[in-house]
Structure 1
């Protein structure tokens, strides 16, 4: 597989949201981009707080922009805050959110297919849902851990 299909993106979103409901998490927003940064799928559950989709978008965009899962970007923000601030400025104020919940999507051979960003609950729970969705789509998640 060389491209992230719409079917895979929809499976990812549906499973991420199902996982959130099974865990009784807060309502989530889920954004999926392909490797070139084109939007494949977006869903925001009823009751999500204001701007959750934009935060999810920032997690996914940041992962794609730096080629790192947002967990690694969060670590880098602690170690090199000026670098992450500079990158945030370059890619836009809502296009890089340096906390877990932005996960790179890879195929079985490690090729980059895209990224998912989730926001709504704790960052760790957002990441758990992202990984569940990626796995259900038969792909591999890269959190940057």
Structure 2
């Protein structure tokens, strides 16, 4: 579902929440999950285990003039239930967009996974002129969920 400042997509994945969370908390696996094509690789990041951690990703995109890095500040962590981070260009504070993965066990080995891309806290007018939100489409988020389902299976 899309509104003016966030997009949320969801799907049921036939794996346990712990199996899915295991994939989500390894930044090295994020290029497999990315439906936008922006994520190239992680930058030697360990598993995400707590709020306050920062993980660095190597990215590419015309909106940033080619290759760049992001620092992702973990702002939500509840094992097997929630993982959220705010993204910033490397060396800067997060300017207001956030990625939220929510997992709801549905019994057995089935989990409802919701992915939210939220840019409602972006207020920098210069940034809003440079980057036209949403930078990632609803379809690309759906693709990320499909990629996650495939990644958990391997």
Q: Tell me, yes or no, whether TM beats 0.5.
A: no
Give TM-score, length-normalised by structure 2: 0.36
Computing the radius of gyration from Cα coordinates, the structure with the larger value is: 2
Give TM-score, length-normalised by structure 1: 0.37
More helix by share: 1
